[in-house]
Amino acid sequence: MAAKPIYRVVVHQQGEIWDLYVREIFQSELWGFIEVEEFVFEDASRVVVDPASEKLRHTFEGVKRSYLPLNAIVRIDEVEREGPLKAVKSDAQVAEFPRPFPLPPRGD
């Protein structure tokens, strides 16, 4: 039997880019949201502790299911195994999708 796939979900959240690892992901019944379940965390017995990774671990510890707005999701990848959780400050502007495009100026 094949192992359940692991997905890396990259989310833009309040000026940070988060890398989350989950086993279940699907369209929510709540319009405009994606549901993610079964968060996957790296082994906590590592000698080196990353504060950003620990922040996300504590944020999602005990969370059964999370509803992420579609416009906050940057990308979703199916990966071989989980990686480190990341929370990186983002100075770049991340455009929401879908986003209305401005019309070009009309000539008189």
Residue 72 is encoded by which pair of tokens? 């906050």
pLDDT of residue 67: 93
pTM > 0.95: yes or no: no
Number of helices (H), then strands (E), in the chain = 1, 6
pLDDT of residue 55: 75
User: Which stretches of the chain are assigned E, i.e. beta strand?
Assistant: 6-13, 16-27, 33-39, 65-69, 73-79, 86-89
Divide the 108 residues of the chain into consecutive groups of 10 and give the mean pLDDT of each group: 82 83 90 88 64 74 87 88 73 59 71
